[in-house]
Structure 1
Protein backbone atom coordinates (compact mmCIF):
# COMPACT_ATOMS: atom_id res chain seq x y z
CA UNK A 1 0.00 0.00 0.00
CA UNK A 2 1.34 3.42 -1.00
CA UNK A 3 0.50 6.04 1.68
CA UNK A 4 0.73 8.79 -0.96
CA UNK A 5 -1.95 7.08 -3.05
CA UNK A 6 -4.21 6.74 0.00
CA UNK A 7 -3.74 10.43 0.84
CA UNK A 8 -4.56 11.52 -2.73
CA UNK A 9 -7.57 9.23 -2.85
CA UNK A 10 -8.94 10.50 0.46
CA UNK A 11 -8.33 14.12 -0.54
CA UNK A 12 -9.67 14.05 -4.12
CA UNK A 13 -11.80 10.93 -4.37
CA UNK A 14 -9.56 9.44 -7.06
CA UNK A 15 -5.95 8.53 -7.71
CA UNK A 16 -3.98 7.64 -10.84
CA UNK A 17 -1.65 4.65 -10.62
CA UNK A 18 0.86 5.07 -13.48
CA UNK A 19 1.92 2.08 -15.62
CA UNK A 20 -0.35 -0.34 -13.76
CA UNK A 21 -0.44 -2.52 -16.90
CA UNK A 22 3.00 -3.72 -18.04
CA UNK A 23 3.95 -3.02 -21.66
CA UNK A 24 3.70 -6.62 -22.98
CA UNK A 25 0.34 -7.09 -21.28
CA UNK A 26 -0.89 -3.79 -22.68
CA UNK A 27 0.18 -4.77 -26.21
CA UNK A 28 -1.81 -8.01 -26.01
CA UNK A 29 -4.91 -6.11 -24.89
CA UNK A 30 -4.53 -3.60 -27.72
CA UNK A 31 -4.10 -6.35 -30.32
CA UNK A 32 -7.14 -8.28 -29.08
CA UNK A 33 -9.23 -5.10 -29.07
CA UNK A 34 -8.25 -4.25 -32.66
CA UNK A 35 -9.03 -7.76 -33.87
CA UNK A 36 -12.25 -8.42 -31.94
CA UNK A 37 -13.80 -5.41 -30.20
CA UNK A 38 -14.18 -2.59 -32.71
CA UNK A 39 -17.71 -3.24 -33.97
CA UNK A 40 -19.82 -2.21 -30.94
CA UNK A 41 -19.97 0.54 -28.36
CA UNK A 42 -19.58 -1.53 -25.22
CA UNK A 43 -18.59 -5.07 -24.34
CA UNK A 44 -18.92 -6.79 -20.99
CA UNK A 45 -15.58 -8.50 -20.47
CA UNK A 46 -15.51 -12.25 -21.05
CA UNK A 47 -12.70 -13.79 -19.00
CA UNK A 48 -12.48 -16.61 -21.53
CA UNK A 49 -10.99 -14.06 -23.96
CA UNK A 50 -7.60 -14.88 -22.47
CA UNK A 51 -5.18 -14.50 -19.61
CA UNK A 52 -4.59 -10.82 -20.42
CA UNK A 53 -8.25 -10.16 -19.55
CA UNK A 54 -8.35 -12.35 -16.48
CA UNK A 55 -5.26 -10.54 -15.19
CA UNK A 56 -7.27 -7.30 -14.98
CA UNK A 57 -9.25 -8.80 -12.09
CA UNK A 58 -6.32 -8.36 -9.69
CA UNK A 59 -3.41 -6.45 -11.20
CA UNK A 60 -0.89 -6.12 -8.38
CA UNK A 61 -0.66 -2.32 -8.20
CA UNK A 62 -4.43 -1.89 -8.20
CA UNK A 63 -5.17 -4.92 -6.05
CA UNK A 64 -2.88 -3.75 -3.25
CA UNK A 65 -4.58 -0.34 -3.22
CA UNK A 66 -8.10 -1.78 -3.17
CA UNK A 67 -7.12 -4.33 -0.53
CA UNK A 68 -5.96 -1.47 1.68
CA UNK A 69 -9.18 0.51 1.21
CA UNK A 70 -11.45 -2.51 1.73
CA UNK A 71 -9.16 -4.27 4.24
CA UNK A 72 -9.07 -7.22 1.81
CA UNK A 73 -12.85 -7.78 2.02
CA UNK A 74 -14.06 -6.95 -1.48
CA UNK A 75 -15.18 -8.51 -4.74
CA UNK A 76 -15.35 -7.69 -8.44
CA UNK A 77 -18.93 -6.67 -9.27
CA UNK A 78 -18.72 -6.11 -13.05
CA UNK A 79 -16.26 -5.19 -15.82
CA UNK A 80 -16.77 -3.76 -19.31
CA UNK A 81 -14.92 -2.18 -22.24
CA UNK A 82 -15.77 1.31 -23.51
CA UNK A 83 -14.55 3.32 -26.48
CA UNK A 84 -14.84 6.98 -27.52
CA UNK A 85 -18.59 6.57 -28.15
CA UNK A 86 -19.29 5.70 -24.51
CA UNK A 87 -20.67 8.68 -22.56
CA UNK A 88 -22.01 8.17 -19.04
CA UNK A 89 -25.26 9.81 -17.89
CA UNK A 90 -25.86 11.61 -21.16
CA UNK A 91 -22.85 13.85 -20.66
CA UNK A 92 -23.96 15.14 -17.26
CA UNK A 93 -22.12 14.49 -14.02
CA UNK A 94 -23.67 11.87 -11.77
CA UNK A 95 -23.56 10.47 -8.23
CA UNK A 96 -22.69 12.27 -5.01
CA UNK A 97 -21.70 11.59 -1.42
CA UNK A 98 -23.75 9.45 0.96
CA UNK A 99 -25.83 7.41 -1.49
CA UNK A 100 -25.95 4.67 1.15
CA UNK A 101 -29.20 3.12 -0.10
CA UNK A 102 -27.58 2.59 -3.51
CA UNK A 103 -24.37 1.09 -2.12
CA UNK A 104 -22.41 4.27 -2.95
CA UNK A 105 -20.70 6.06 -0.08
CA UNK A 106 -17.36 7.10 1.39
CA UNK A 107 -16.47 7.98 4.95
CA UNK A 108 -13.50 7.70 7.30
CA UNK A 109 -13.44 6.88 11.00
CA UNK A 110 -10.33 6.37 13.14
CA UNK A 111 -8.15 6.53 10.00
CA UNK A 112 -10.07 3.66 8.41
CA UNK A 113 -11.80 4.12 5.07
CA UNK A 114 -15.32 2.73 4.68
CA UNK A 115 -16.28 2.64 1.03
CA UNK A 116 -19.10 1.32 -1.07
CA UNK A 117 -18.78 0.92 -4.84
CA UNK A 118 -15.37 1.81 -6.30
CA UNK A 119 -14.28 1.91 -9.93
CA UNK A 120 -11.06 1.35 -11.83
CA UNK A 121 -10.53 2.66 -15.35
CA UNK A 122 -7.71 0.91 -17.17
CA UNK A 123 -6.45 2.99 -20.08
CA UNK A 124 -5.76 0.68 -23.02
CA UNK A 125 -5.00 3.71 -25.22
CA UNK A 126 -3.89 7.25 -24.34
CA UNK A 127 -6.74 9.39 -23.01
CA UNK A 128 -5.83 13.03 -23.58
CA UNK A 129 -7.69 16.31 -24.10
CA UNK A 130 -8.53 15.19 -27.65
CA UNK A 131 -10.58 12.16 -26.53
CA UNK A 132 -13.74 11.87 -24.46
CA UNK A 133 -12.37 11.52 -20.95
CA UNK A 134 -13.07 11.22 -17.24
CA UNK A 135 -13.89 14.40 -15.34
CA UNK A 136 -14.98 15.04 -11.77
CA UNK A 137 -15.41 17.51 -8.92
CA UNK A 138 -12.48 16.67 -6.62
CA UNK A 139 -13.40 16.12 -2.99
CA UNK A 140 -17.13 15.84 -3.72
CA UNK A 141 -17.17 12.27 -2.36
CA UNK A 142 -17.00 13.88 1.11
CA UNK A 143 -19.43 16.77 0.52
CA UNK A 144 -22.11 17.58 3.10
CA UNK A 145 -24.66 19.25 0.82
CA UNK A 146 -26.54 18.23 -2.35
CA UNK A 147 -24.95 19.05 -5.69
CA UNK A 148 -26.44 22.27 -7.19
CA UNK A 149 -27.87 21.71 -10.67
CA UNK A 150 -25.35 24.01 -12.34
CA UNK A 151 -22.50 21.77 -11.18
CA UNK A 152 -24.08 18.71 -12.79
CA UNK A 153 -23.22 20.24 -16.16
CA UNK A 154 -19.75 19.33 -17.44
CA UNK A 155 -19.53 22.47 -19.59
CA UNK A 156 -18.60 25.83 -18.03
CA UNK A 157 -18.17 24.13 -14.67
CA UNK A 158 -15.64 26.02 -12.58
CA UNK A 159 -15.26 23.09 -10.15
CA UNK A 160 -14.50 20.52 -12.84
CA UNK A 161 -11.18 18.69 -13.16
CA UNK A 162 -10.18 16.81 -16.31
CA UNK A 163 -8.22 13.60 -15.78
CA UNK A 164 -5.95 12.40 -18.59
CA UNK A 165 -4.23 9.03 -18.76
CA UNK A 166 -1.40 7.35 -20.61
CA UNK A 167 -1.99 3.88 -21.99
CA UNK A 168 -1.35 1.43 -19.16
CA UNK A 169 -2.39 3.80 -16.37
CA UNK A 170 -5.16 2.94 -13.92
CA UNK A 171 -7.56 5.53 -12.54
CA UNK A 172 -9.15 4.41 -9.26
CA UNK A 173 -12.10 6.45 -8.01
CA UNK A 174 -14.92 6.37 -5.51
CA UNK A 175 -18.34 6.17 -7.12
CA UNK A 176 -19.43 8.67 -4.43
CA UNK A 177 -17.40 11.24 -6.37
CA UNK A 178 -19.42 13.56 -8.62
CA UNK A 179 -18.06 12.49 -11.99
CA UNK A 180 -18.81 11.75 -15.62
CA UNK A 181 -17.53 11.83 -19.19
CA UNK A 182 -16.28 15.07 -20.71
CA UNK A 183 -17.34 15.05 -24.35
CA UNK A 184 -14.87 16.29 -26.95
CA UNK A 185 -16.08 17.23 -30.42
CA UNK A 186 -14.89 14.59 -32.89
CA UNK A 187 -13.22 12.58 -30.16
CA UNK A 188 -10.31 10.45 -31.28
CA UNK A 189 -10.08 6.76 -30.45
CA UNK A 190 -10.39 5.91 -26.76
CA UNK A 191 -10.10 2.39 -25.39
CA UNK A 192 -10.68 1.76 -21.71
CA UNK A 193 -11.72 -1.08 -19.45
CA UNK A 194 -13.89 -0.22 -16.45
CA UNK A 195 -13.95 -2.56 -13.44
CA UNK A 196 -16.13 -1.90 -10.43
CA UNK A 197 -15.56 -3.42 -7.01
CA UNK A 198 -17.85 -3.80 -4.01
CA UNK A 199 -17.67 -4.97 -0.42
CA UNK A 200 -17.62 -8.76 -0.32
CA UNK A 201 -20.89 -8.81 1.63
CA UNK A 202 -22.91 -7.11 -1.11
CA UNK A 203 -23.67 -6.78 -4.81
CA UNK A 204 -24.13 -3.56 -6.76
CA UNK A 205 -25.67 -4.99 -9.94
CA UNK A 206 -28.14 -7.84 -9.63
CA UNK A 207 -26.23 -10.95 -10.76
CA UNK A 208 -27.75 -12.62 -13.79
CA UNK A 209 -27.56 -16.05 -12.15
CA UNK A 210 -29.28 -14.99 -8.93
CA UNK A 211 -32.43 -16.89 -8.05
CA UNK A 212 -35.08 -16.32 -5.42
CA UNK A 213 -33.98 -17.39 -1.94
CA UNK A 214 -35.64 -20.63 -0.83
CA UNK A 215 -33.77 -21.23 2.43
CA UNK A 216 -32.47 -18.85 5.09
CA UNK A 217 -28.99 -19.48 6.54
CA UNK A 218 -29.03 -21.95 9.43
CA UNK A 219 -28.18 -20.82 12.93
CA UNK A 220 -24.52 -21.65 13.70
CA UNK A 221 -23.90 -24.47 16.19
CA UNK A 222 -27.58 -25.33 16.21
CA UNK A 223 -28.64 -28.94 16.68
CA UNK A 224 -30.88 -28.78 13.60
CA UNK A 225 -28.10 -27.84 11.20
CA UNK A 226 -30.05 -28.25 7.98
CA UNK A 227 -31.91 -25.07 7.09
CA UNK A 228 -35.49 -25.75 5.94
CA UNK A 229 -36.32 -25.13 2.29
CA UNK A 230 -39.58 -23.22 1.84
CA UNK A 231 -41.89 -22.19 -0.97
CA UNK A 232 -43.18 -18.66 -1.48
CA UNK A 233 -46.57 -19.55 -2.96
CA UNK A 234 -48.51 -18.70 0.19
CA UNK A 235 -46.50 -15.57 1.03
CA UNK A 236 -47.84 -12.04 0.64
CA UNK A 237 -45.98 -9.81 -1.84
CA UNK A 238 -44.26 -8.03 1.05
CA UNK A 239 -43.24 -11.30 2.69
CA UNK A 240 -41.90 -12.57 -0.62
CA UNK A 241 -39.86 -9.41 -1.11
CA UNK A 242 -38.42 -9.57 2.40
CA UNK A 243 -37.62 -13.28 2.46
CA UNK A 244 -36.79 -14.32 -1.11
CA UNK A 245 -35.25 -11.31 -2.90
CA UNK A 246 -31.46 -11.65 -3.24
CA UNK A 247 -29.15 -8.84 -2.19
CA UNK A 248 -28.12 -6.15 -4.69
CA UNK A 249 -28.07 -2.34 -4.67
CA UNK A 250 -28.77 -0.96 -8.15
CA UNK A 251 -32.44 -1.13 -9.02
CA UNK A 252 -33.49 -2.90 -5.81
CA UNK A 253 -36.68 -1.08 -4.86
CA UNK A 254 -38.04 -0.46 -1.36
CA UNK A 255 -40.26 -2.95 0.39
CA UNK A 256 -43.88 -2.31 -0.59
CA UNK A 257 -46.92 -2.35 1.63
Structure 2
Protein backbone atom coordinates (compact mmCIF):
# COMPACT_ATOMS: atom_id res chain seq x y z
CA UNK A 1 0.00 0.00 0.00
CA UNK A 2 1.38 3.40 -1.00
CA UNK A 3 2.25 5.56 2.05
CA UNK A 4 0.93 8.61 0.21
CA UNK A 5 -2.57 7.14 0.41
CA UNK A 6 -2.41 7.06 4.19
CA UNK A 7 -1.01 10.60 4.24
CA UNK A 8 -3.80 11.90 1.99
CA UNK A 9 -6.44 10.17 4.08
CA UNK A 10 -5.02 11.58 7.31
CA UNK A 11 -4.65 15.08 5.84
CA UNK A 12 -7.93 15.43 3.95
CA UNK A 13 -10.19 12.77 5.45
CA UNK A 14 -10.47 10.95 2.13
CA UNK A 15 -8.36 9.31 -0.54
CA UNK A 16 -9.08 8.15 -4.08
CA UNK A 17 -7.72 4.76 -5.14
CA UNK A 18 -7.83 4.63 -8.94
CA UNK A 19 -8.84 1.50 -10.81
CA UNK A 20 -9.87 -0.36 -7.67
CA UNK A 21 -12.35 -2.33 -9.80
CA UNK A 22 -11.09 -4.12 -12.89
CA UNK A 23 -12.74 -3.46 -16.26
CA UNK A 24 -14.33 -6.95 -16.56
CA UNK A 25 -15.68 -6.67 -12.99
CA UNK A 26 -16.99 -3.19 -13.73
CA UNK A 27 -18.75 -4.36 -16.88
CA UNK A 28 -20.53 -7.18 -15.04
CA UNK A 29 -21.76 -4.74 -12.37
CA UNK A 30 -22.98 -2.29 -14.99
CA UNK A 31 -24.83 -5.02 -16.87
CA UNK A 32 -26.57 -6.23 -13.71
CA UNK A 33 -27.52 -2.67 -12.77
CA UNK A 34 -29.00 -1.96 -16.23
CA UNK A 35 -31.04 -5.12 -16.10
CA UNK A 36 -32.27 -5.07 -12.49
CA UNK A 37 -31.73 -1.76 -10.67
CA UNK A 38 -32.94 1.11 -12.85
CA UNK A 39 -36.38 1.56 -11.23
CA UNK A 40 -35.14 2.88 -7.86
CA UNK A 41 -32.60 5.42 -6.69
CA UNK A 42 -31.23 3.29 -3.85
CA UNK A 43 -30.94 -0.44 -3.24
CA UNK A 44 -29.52 -2.21 -0.22
CA UNK A 45 -27.29 -4.83 -1.77
CA UNK A 46 -28.05 -8.51 -1.52
CA UNK A 47 -24.79 -10.44 -1.62
CA UNK A 48 -26.66 -13.28 -3.33
CA UNK A 49 -27.00 -11.11 -6.45
CA UNK A 50 -23.74 -12.64 -7.64
CA UNK A 51 -19.99 -12.88 -7.24
CA UNK A 52 -19.50 -9.46 -8.82
CA UNK A 53 -21.33 -7.92 -5.84
CA UNK A 54 -19.59 -10.06 -3.22
CA UNK A 55 -16.25 -9.02 -4.71
CA UNK A 56 -17.00 -5.43 -3.67
CA UNK A 57 -16.52 -6.50 -0.05
CA UNK A 58 -12.75 -6.63 -0.37
CA UNK A 59 -11.09 -5.54 -3.64
CA UNK A 60 -7.40 -5.99 -2.96
CA UNK A 61 -6.33 -2.33 -3.03
CA UNK A 62 -9.26 -1.25 -0.84
CA UNK A 63 -8.77 -4.13 1.58
CA UNK A 64 -5.06 -3.39 2.00
CA UNK A 65 -5.78 0.25 2.80
CA UNK A 66 -8.52 -0.53 5.34
CA UNK A 67 -6.33 -3.24 6.84
CA UNK A 68 -3.71 -0.58 7.63
CA UNK A 69 -6.22 1.89 9.07
CA UNK A 70 -8.03 -0.68 11.22
CA UNK A 71 -4.97 -2.88 11.90
CA UNK A 72 -6.76 -6.03 10.67
CA UNK A 73 -9.76 -5.55 12.99
CA UNK A 74 -12.74 -4.43 10.94
CA UNK A 75 -15.95 -5.66 9.33
CA UNK A 76 -18.45 -4.67 6.64
CA UNK A 77 -21.43 -3.00 8.32
CA UNK A 78 -23.75 -2.30 5.37
CA UNK A 79 -23.69 -1.68 1.62
CA UNK A 80 -26.03 0.02 -0.84
CA UNK A 81 -26.07 1.43 -4.36
CA UNK A 82 -27.18 4.93 -5.35
CA UNK A 83 -27.84 6.71 -8.63
CA UNK A 84 -28.10 10.36 -9.71
CA UNK A 85 -31.37 10.80 -7.79
CA UNK A 86 -29.76 9.94 -4.45
CA UNK A 87 -29.18 12.91 -2.13
CA UNK A 88 -27.87 12.52 1.42
CA UNK A 89 -29.15 14.48 4.44
CA UNK A 90 -31.67 16.60 2.60
CA UNK A 91 -29.04 18.20 0.40
CA UNK A 92 -26.95 19.59 3.28
CA UNK A 93 -23.53 18.54 4.45
CA UNK A 94 -23.63 16.22 7.43
CA UNK A 95 -21.49 14.59 10.15
CA UNK A 96 -18.48 15.98 11.96
CA UNK A 97 -15.47 15.15 14.10
CA UNK A 98 -17.25 14.91 17.46
CA UNK A 99 -19.77 12.08 16.99
CA UNK A 100 -18.09 9.59 19.32
CA UNK A 101 -21.36 8.33 20.78
CA UNK A 102 -22.50 7.32 17.29
CA UNK A 103 -19.36 5.45 16.33
CA UNK A 104 -18.10 8.27 14.08
CA UNK A 105 -14.67 9.65 14.97
CA UNK A 106 -11.08 9.99 13.78
CA UNK A 107 -7.99 10.20 16.00
CA UNK A 108 -4.27 9.67 15.61
CA UNK A 109 -2.12 8.63 18.57
CA UNK A 110 1.53 7.56 18.35
CA UNK A 111 1.34 7.44 14.54
CA UNK A 112 -1.64 5.09 14.67
CA UNK A 113 -5.06 5.89 13.26
CA UNK A 114 -8.09 5.18 15.45
CA UNK A 115 -11.23 5.42 13.37
CA UNK A 116 -14.91 4.67 13.65
CA UNK A 117 -17.13 4.30 10.58
CA UNK A 118 -15.37 4.52 7.21
CA UNK A 119 -17.13 4.60 3.84
CA UNK A 120 -15.96 3.36 0.46
CA UNK A 121 -17.70 4.71 -2.62
CA UNK A 122 -17.12 2.64 -5.74
CA UNK A 123 -17.77 4.60 -8.94
CA UNK A 124 -19.42 2.32 -11.51
CA UNK A 125 -19.74 5.19 -13.97
CA UNK A 126 -17.71 8.35 -14.60
CA UNK A 127 -18.82 11.01 -12.10
CA UNK A 128 -17.86 14.54 -13.06
CA UNK A 129 -19.19 18.07 -12.70
CA UNK A 130 -22.30 17.26 -14.77
CA UNK A 131 -23.39 14.46 -12.44
CA UNK A 132 -24.57 14.65 -8.86
CA UNK A 133 -21.43 13.88 -6.86
CA UNK A 134 -19.67 13.64 -3.51
CA UNK A 135 -18.46 16.84 -1.89
CA UNK A 136 -16.81 17.62 1.44
CA UNK A 137 -14.84 20.02 3.61
CA UNK A 138 -11.30 18.58 3.53
CA UNK A 139 -9.69 18.16 6.94
CA UNK A 140 -12.97 18.59 8.83
CA UNK A 141 -12.63 15.07 10.27
CA UNK A 142 -9.97 16.59 12.56
CA UNK A 143 -11.80 19.80 13.50
CA UNK A 144 -11.89 20.88 17.16
CA UNK A 145 -14.91 23.18 16.89
CA UNK A 146 -18.55 22.69 15.80
CA UNK A 147 -19.38 23.29 12.15
CA UNK A 148 -20.94 26.77 11.66
CA UNK A 149 -24.36 26.57 10.04
CA UNK A 150 -23.26 28.40 6.88
CA UNK A 151 -20.68 25.68 6.21
CA UNK A 152 -23.39 23.03 6.13
CA UNK A 153 -24.57 24.45 2.80
CA UNK A 154 -23.46 22.93 -0.49
CA UNK A 155 -23.96 26.21 -2.35
CA UNK A 156 -21.82 29.32 -1.84
CA UNK A 157 -19.57 27.40 0.51
CA UNK A 158 -15.93 28.55 0.13
CA UNK A 159 -14.64 25.49 2.03
CA UNK A 160 -16.38 22.95 -0.20
CA UNK A 161 -14.41 20.59 -2.42
CA UNK A 162 -16.04 18.69 -5.29
CA UNK A 163 -14.79 15.12 -5.77
CA UNK A 164 -14.93 13.68 -9.29
CA UNK A 165 -14.29 10.02 -10.06
CA UNK A 166 -13.63 7.77 -13.02
CA UNK A 167 -15.48 4.49 -13.40
CA UNK A 168 -13.61 1.89 -11.35
CA UNK A 169 -12.22 4.35 -8.78
CA UNK A 170 -12.77 3.89 -5.06
CA UNK A 171 -13.22 6.93 -2.83
CA UNK A 172 -12.46 6.05 0.79
CA UNK A 173 -13.50 8.61 3.38
CA UNK A 174 -13.90 8.95 7.13
CA UNK A 175 -17.53 9.42 8.12
CA UNK A 176 -16.23 12.05 10.57
CA UNK A 177 -15.56 14.19 7.49
CA UNK A 178 -18.20 16.88 6.88
CA UNK A 179 -19.60 15.68 3.56
CA UNK A 180 -22.65 15.25 1.40
CA UNK A 181 -24.07 15.13 -2.11
CA UNK A 182 -23.74 18.01 -4.54
CA UNK A 183 -27.01 17.79 -6.42
CA UNK A 184 -26.75 18.72 -10.11
CA UNK A 185 -29.99 19.64 -11.86
CA UNK A 186 -30.63 17.38 -14.85
CA UNK A 187 -27.72 15.24 -13.69
CA UNK A 188 -26.21 12.72 -16.03
CA UNK A 189 -26.17 9.08 -15.04
CA UNK A 190 -24.47 8.30 -11.75
CA UNK A 191 -23.95 4.76 -10.56
CA UNK A 192 -22.17 4.23 -7.27
CA UNK A 193 -21.92 1.63 -4.55
CA UNK A 194 -21.34 2.67 -0.96
CA UNK A 195 -19.81 0.15 1.45
CA UNK A 196 -19.34 1.17 5.06
CA UNK A 197 -16.91 -0.51 7.42
CA UNK A 198 -16.68 -0.54 11.20
CA UNK A 199 -14.37 -1.84 13.91
CA UNK A 200 -14.92 -5.57 14.35
CA UNK A 201 -16.01 -5.07 17.97
CA UNK A 202 -19.04 -2.95 17.05
CA UNK A 203 -21.95 -2.38 14.69
CA UNK A 204 -23.07 0.94 13.23
CA UNK A 205 -26.57 -0.06 12.10
CA UNK A 206 -28.66 -2.36 14.25
CA UNK A 207 -28.22 -5.90 12.90
CA UNK A 208 -31.58 -7.25 11.68
CA UNK A 209 -30.91 -10.83 12.77
CA UNK A 210 -29.60 -10.18 16.28
CA UNK A 211 -31.54 -11.42 19.27
CA UNK A 212 -31.43 -10.22 22.84
CA UNK A 213 -28.44 -11.32 24.88
CA UNK A 214 -29.48 -14.00 27.35
CA UNK A 215 -26.10 -14.97 28.83
CA UNK A 216 -23.11 -12.91 29.87
CA UNK A 217 -19.72 -14.08 28.60
CA UNK A 218 -17.82 -16.44 30.86
CA UNK A 219 -14.63 -15.13 32.43
CA UNK A 220 -11.67 -16.55 30.43
CA UNK A 221 -9.42 -18.99 32.31
CA UNK A 222 -11.51 -18.73 35.47
CA UNK A 223 -15.08 -19.81 34.89
CA UNK A 224 -15.62 -23.53 35.32
CA UNK A 225 -19.29 -23.44 34.39
CA UNK A 226 -19.21 -21.39 31.19
CA UNK A 227 -21.77 -18.78 30.20
CA UNK A 228 -24.77 -18.60 32.49
CA UNK A 229 -28.12 -18.24 30.71
CA UNK A 230 -30.86 -16.14 32.31
CA UNK A 231 -34.39 -14.99 31.52
CA UNK A 232 -34.68 -11.43 30.23
CA UNK A 233 -38.29 -11.43 31.44
CA UNK A 234 -37.04 -10.95 35.00
CA UNK A 235 -35.12 -7.76 34.15
CA UNK A 236 -36.45 -4.22 34.51
CA UNK A 237 -36.62 -2.11 31.35
CA UNK A 238 -33.40 -0.31 32.25
CA UNK A 239 -31.66 -3.58 33.12
CA UNK A 240 -32.83 -5.01 29.81
CA UNK A 241 -31.24 -2.11 27.95
CA UNK A 242 -28.02 -2.48 29.93
CA UNK A 243 -27.77 -6.25 29.58
CA UNK A 244 -29.82 -7.73 26.77
CA UNK A 245 -29.77 -5.12 23.99
CA UNK A 246 -27.18 -6.03 21.31
CA UNK A 247 -24.41 -3.58 20.49
CA UNK A 248 -24.88 -1.03 17.69
CA UNK A 249 -24.30 2.73 17.34
CA UNK A 250 -26.96 4.29 15.15
CA UNK A 251 -30.41 4.62 16.67
CA UNK A 252 -29.64 3.09 20.06
CA UNK A 253 -32.17 4.50 22.53
CA UNK A 254 -30.80 6.26 25.63
CA UNK A 255 -30.89 4.22 28.83
CA UNK A 256 -34.23 4.75 30.58
CA UNK A 257 -34.75 5.66 34.22
| TM-score when normalising by structure 2 | 0.99
Which residue does the alignment assign to 2:108? Answer: 108
Separation of aligned partners in 2, 1:22 and 1:93: 31
Contact 1:120–1:170 under 8 Å retained in 2: yes
Aligned to 2:24, the other structure's residue is in SS state helix
Give 1:253 deviation, angstroms. Answer: 2.0
Alignment correspondent of 2:186: 186
> Please, which runs of 5 or more residues in structure 2 have no aligned partner?
none
1:84-233 matches, within 5 Å, as: 84-233=84-233
- My pick for the range that moved more, 42-51 or 87-96, is 42-51
Partner of 1:41: 41
Residue 23 of structure 1 contacts residue 168 of structure 1 at CA under 8 Å; is this kept in 2? yes
Would the aligned equivalents of 1:45 and 1:80 in 2 still touch at CA under 8 Å? yes
In 1, Cα distance between the equivalents of 2:108 and 2:254?
27
C-alpha RMSD of the superposition:
0.7
SS at match of 1:11: helix
What residue ranges of structure 1 are gaps of 5+ in the alignment? none
Say if 2:21 is the partner of 1:21.
yes
1:231, 1:19 → 2: CA distance?
Answer: 52
Which residue of 2 is the match for residue 76 of structure 1? Answer: 76
Are residues 1:58 and 2:64 paired?
no
Kept after mapping to 2: 8 A contact 1:130/1:187: yes
Question: Residues of 2 paired with 1:106 and 1:223: CA distance?
Answer: 37
SS of residue matched to 1:56: coil
Cα displacement (A) at 1:30: 0.5
> What do the CA deviations read for 1:74-109 (whole angstroms, capped 9, x no partner)?
000000010011100010000000211000000101
Offset, 1:160: 0.1
Contact 1:141 1:177 in 2 (8 A): yes
Is the Cα contact below 8 Å between 1:41 and 1:83 reproduced in 2? yes
CA distance in 1, matches of 2:185, 2:234: 57
Q: CA deviation at 1:223?
A: 4.2
Alpha-carbon distance in 2 for matches of 1:56, 1:223: 41
